[in-house]
Amino acid sequence: MIKLEKSTVIHRPSDEVFAFVADQTNAASWQSGIVEVRRLTDGPPGVGSRHTFTRTLMGRRMTGENEYVEFEPGKRVAFRTMSGPALLASYAVTAMPEGTRLTATIELDVSGIMSLAEPLVSRALKRDVVGNLARLKSILESRPATASAGTLGAGQL
């Protein structure tokens, strides 16, 4: 089992950071390897919301599904994969005077044949998460300030 937790401070309001990471259709813009994410469920996001994703991994294209298993608006979202390697991931936001601390946590089951490559997978995952958080920080900090970051538009979640 690979467990990884990384944080970054983003100089944006916490509700804006949460809205962006909780909308998984944004993932392709900041997560390496993600080609596309589509929401499968209707209604507001919450526990039970499902997504399908397409990603490339070691030169191979793969698709899968995930489901929100925790959803605390403005604070934390957690999801697990429904197919492929067992993955549990979460994003937690904490308001700070200078912006928002975003903490990404990942637990990846590398049992079976994948366990042989665990050290390699662990290093690659850590490198990806650090790069992804830096890309997310850059994207969010370069966006124009909104008059009311707490007000979500129709297509945002």
Reading the chain (157 residues) residue by residue, the pLDDT tens digits are 879 899 999 999 999 999 999 999 999 999 988 899 999 999 888 999 999 998 886 677 888 899 999 999 999 999 998 877 788 999 999 999 999 999 999 887 776 656 666 666 667 768 888 889 999 999 999 988 764 444 333 333 3
pLDDT for 5 equals 92
What is the DSSP code (8-state) at residue 25? Answer: G
Q: Which CATH number fits the domain that encloses residue 122?
A: 3.30.530.20
Q: Pairing mode, if any, of strands 60-72 and 34-39?
A: unpaired
Q: Is the dihedral of CA 135, 92, 111, 53 positive or negative?
A: negative
pLDDT tens-digit map of 71-95: 999 999 999 988 777 889 999 999 9
Read off the pTM: 0.81
Are the C-beta atoms of 100 and 94 separated by less than 8 Å?
yes
pLDDT of residue 33: 86
- Structural domain boundaries, residue 42: 2-142
CA neighbor of 91 nearest in space, from 13, 7, 2: 7
Q: Is residue 120 part of a domain?
A: yes
Q: Give the E-state strand segments of 30-152 in sequence order.
A: 34-39, 50-57, 60-72, 76-81, 87-96, 99-108
- In this structure, is residue 156 part of a structural domain? no
Taking alpha carbons only, the member of 64, 65, 25, 60 closest to residue 45 is 25
> Looking at residue 55, what is its pLDDT?
84
Please give the Cα distance from 115 to 92 (Å, whole number): 28
Q: How many domains does the chain have?
A: 1
- What is the pLDDT at residue 90? 95
- For residue 119, the model assigns a pLDDT of 66
Interatomic CA distance for residues 75 and 40, integer angstroms: 23
Report yes or no on 11 lying in a domain.
yes
Residue 148 falls inside a structural domain = no
What is the rounded distance in angstroms from the CA atom of residue 78 to the CA atom of residue 108?
13
Residue 147 counted as domain residue: no
